[in-house]
Amino acid sequence: MDTEQVPAFRPARDDYRWDGVAHMPYKQDGSAPFKDISRQVLFDEPELHCQLRYFEMAAGGYSTLERHEHAHGVMILCGHGHCLVGDEVRTVGPHDLVTIPAWTWHQFRATQGEKFGFLCMVNQLRDKPQLPTATDLATLKENAAVRAFLEG
Ligand code: MN
């Protein structure tokens, strides 16, 4: 059993890093469904039953287009970008809140020529994301705004 205690206080460093928090750049190859996005898990205590993560994309980066049974609560923390939730595409910026319900397609894109970072709250125990099939993509792209978003 892991009895390691997280310190009560973990000060912020410069540039959206924190003491005692590992910075995980995603592995990336040509076939990855995401681009230029890093992950830091800020809170992961069993008694919370949730995790709070910080994701950050470089300009032009994007998260995976996916859906799953679990939901997300998101707060944009830095920069501006576009976000798809279901069939809605919106411009979002610092401190905007985004709720992603169960089984809803979602993706974040750093479209504004700047880095774009957000906090994401999620169940600690959760199902694996589904990626879209060719048919799912074709259906999503029937909406002109979604097509423009997905085609960058
Ligand atoms: Mn997700």
CA of 30 to the centre of ligand 1 (A): 21
CA of 22 to the centre of ligand 1 (A): 20
Q: Which of 99, 120, 114, 107 is nearest to 148 (CA)?
A: 107
* Whether residue 120 lies in the annotated active site: yes
Domains with residue ranges and CATH for the chain: 21-151 (2.60.120.10)
- CA 66/CA 49 separation, integer angstroms: 22
Q: What is the pLDDT of residue 147?
A: 97
Q: What is the pLDDT of residue 60?
A: 94
Ranges of residues in the chain whose predicted pLDDT is under 50: 1
pTM: 0.93
